[in-house]
A and B are shown apart, each in its own frame.
Chain A
Amino acid sequence: MIQVPIKEAVVVASGLLLLVLLLATCGDRGGDVASLRPLVPAQAGGWQAVDGGELYDRESIFSYIDGHAEVYLAYGMKGCLARRYTGPSGEADIALDVFEMASPADAYGVASYDRDGEPVAIGHDGRFRYGWLSFWKGAFFVSVTAESESAAARDAVLELGRSVAALITDDGATPPLVGELPPDGLDAGSVRFLHSQQILNTHLWLGEGEVLGLAPDTSAALAHYLRDGWSAHLLLVDYPDRGRAERAAAAIAGRLLAGPAGGGPALGQDGRWHGVQQRGGRLVVVIGAANDELAAALLAEASAPIGGG
């Protein structure tokens, strides 16, 4: 039996532990944006990476993205890998940004922030518009942007996107709350998932102030409906406790209905129909329905399942 002094044994064991942790981290390509860095392709089409990529955290992201970082922070961004590629003569750069979010639901949420564009079969909800490809997969939101459009740049953007999508092994799932939106008349391209009033404001303006008390521990799904030519917005919010949901219901009812929540739809000063229901931790709000029948139907259908706390 080989005798190993205790001190050396501790050093060896510590080293082995570190190695195991490192291998585990590197092997989990769906769990750490830093581990993707050495795997991301150095070229795509005629475009060549200018460096190995930069990593940004929740603080340093502000130095990279001016004025837009809070979108990612609102979805619990953990880190961002940014890599630039230079193209053939006459072609503009391509920027690759891989954001690691708090969860697959948050990656879905970021992707739902901007749903314009032509669908492409890359990752989940892949979209291409104006030289910009975006998709989500696992807990990652991936953006590939050609700073000027051309056919060659489009091909390179899509090639790079496919390569990065293949590196992400976790698939992720759509947030369950989104699945609770009534399907009849749902405009799938309008569905947003979010946790913040600021994000909601960019999609639907409910007036000044942060009336709904949205926070990282609340989840909201917003969608536009069109039934028989009549339109409305539906907002579902899950709060972790009934009290917060009640307070939000009272506040939004005061704004939209000029009265308490819980009754049927009411005609607002804007000539549209609004409705507010709260059951347990779930808030259901119909905003701007063209008629009371549509508002009542959406309230009833969305209020059927009880979610949240």
Chain B
Amino acid sequence: MSRRSTVITRRDFVRVGSGLAAAGLLGAHRPGSVAAAEPARSRVVLVRAQDALDAAGAPDGASLHRMLNEAVTALLETPSPSDAWKRLIRPADVVGIKTNVWRNLATPPGLEEAIRAEVVGAGVAPGEVAVDDRGVLDNPVFKRATAFINVRPMRTHHWAGLGTCLKNMIMFVPRPADYHGDACASLGAIWKLPELEGKVRLNILVMLTPQFHGVGPHSFSPEFVWPYKGLIVGIDPVAVDATGARIIEARRREHFGEERPISPPPHHIQVADTRYGLGVSDPQRIDLVRLGFMEGALI
């Protein structure tokens, strides 16, 4: 006798589309289920909080933890955050939290800790959870991981146009530069690798102080970040990134006072949809759930 999994896996998502996957796996009753020919939709949560950054502009760990839990609860439409986390992670899972350590705009440690705490709260043994970025290929937990949570800040990027959740997995290949051609169009292929496919359970695009333009060898100036105080959370990395990209494009228009397209165009997001089937890039097919203050949300 087979049991139906209540955990959302990448394979489930890819097969039926994230919105449908969530509906089916969570047992939601949707009378007259969507016809097979209807394009899949994805659900993405944008959560913002005024206290996400403290007076000095540093991320506030407690606020981030609260935002994260509000987001996953809304994303999976569960009664509580713990229910949502239990939908995402099994107690038997080995979990890699793929972070980003870029010196100028790293994933906030407070957010990494919040994710770790929730994963452990979902029943995973503390020794079966690891946070890593550049050492993922050698990290023993990552090497035997059954689930990943992908978390990184949004920023502009010289080769990909944008440093996105899709791009964050580039450290899973030994020669990342092999994927830099054609504005990193083939990043989606990395998500098809056996060590990743079907295992990325949640994507979190950190929009606390997103970077909308880069200058110099280190691609950073404080001039080009702003306190957006948000997180974009979803199961579908393409929908998460597409939503973040719209915000960056809007901020560039606002800042430069003219159309200043992201260069090179971050078409790896669309290609991840059309060529690799990793999710939904069309904003018309992304159901955006908004939580928290929305002044200056730009979308």
Show the binding face of A for B, using Cβ within 8 Å: 65-68, 70-72, 95, 97, 99, 114, 116, 129-132, 134, 143, 145, 147-149, 197-198, 201-203, 205, 208-210
Contact = CB atoms under 8 A, between A and B. Distances in A.
B185 A208 contact: yes
B221 A67 contact: no
Nearest to A208: B182
Contacts of A208: 182, 185, 267
10 contacts: A67-B102, A114-B215, A129-B215, A131-B221, A132-B216, A143-B216, A145-B217, A197-B182, A202-B158, A208-B182
A71 B158 contact: yes
Nearest to B100: A66
Contact of B264 (A70, A131, A202): A202
A143 B216 CA distance: 7
B157 interface: yes
B183 interface: yes
Which 4 residue pairs spanning A and B have beta carbons closest together? A130-B221, A201-B264, A132-B216, A130-B223
Interface string B81-101: 000000000000000000000
Interface in B166-223: 177, 180-183, 185, 215-219, 221-223
Contacts, number: 71
A68 to B, nearest CB: 5
A70 B218 contact: no
Contacts of A198: 159, 180-181, 183, 264
A202 B263 contact: yes
Contacts of A147: 222
B163 interface: yes
A201 B223 CA distance: 24
Given A67-B102, A67-B219, 12 more contacts: A67-B157, A68-B217, A72-B217, A97-B217, A149-B223, A197-B182, A198-B180, A201-B182, A202-B158, A203-B263, A205-B264, A208-B182
A116 B215 contact: yes
Interface residues of B, number: 25
Interface string B210-240: 0000011111011110000000000000000
A261 B30 CA distance: 56
A255 B218 CA distance: 34
A112 B171 CA distance: 30
B184 to A, nearest CB: 9
Interface string B288-299: 000000000000
A203 B261 CA distance: 11
Q: Which of A67, A130, A201 has the most chain B CB within a 10 Å cutoff?
A: A67
B240 to A, nearest CB: 20
Contacts of A143: 216-217
A90 B217 CA distance: 24
A130 B182 CA distance: 29
A205 B221 contact: no
Contacts of A131: 221
Contacts of B224: 130
A99 B103 CA distance: 20
B98 to A, nearest CB: 15
B216 A210 contact: no
A65 B219 CA distance: 9
B171 to A, nearest CB: 11
Contacts of B222: 147-149
A73 to B, nearest CB: 9
A210 B224 CA distance: 30
A205 B183 CA distance: 10
Contacts of A68: 158, 217-219
Nearest to A110: B217
Contacts of A71: 158, 217
B24 interface: no
Given A130-B223, A201-B183, A201-B264, A70 B217 contact: no
Contacts of B267: 208
Given A67-B163, A129-B215, A145-B218, A205 B265 contact: yes
A207 B159 CA distance: 14
A67 B182 contact: no
Contact of A70 (B177, B221, B263): B177
Contacts of A66: 102-103
A65 B182 CA distance: 21
A252 B158 CA distance: 24
Contact of A95 (B159, B218, B223, B264): B218
A71 B217 CA distance: 9
Q: Which of B157, B181, B215, B219 has the most chain A CB within a 10 Å cutoff?
A: B215
Nearest to B170: A67
Contacts of A134: 216
Interface in B241-299: 263-265, 267
B159 A70 contact: yes
A122 to B, nearest CB: 15
A65 B217 contact: yes
Contacts of B217: 65, 68, 71-72, 97, 99, 143, 145
A109 to B, nearest CB: 14
A219 B180 CA distance: 20
Interface string B144-170: 000000000000011100010000000
A148 B104 CA distance: 12
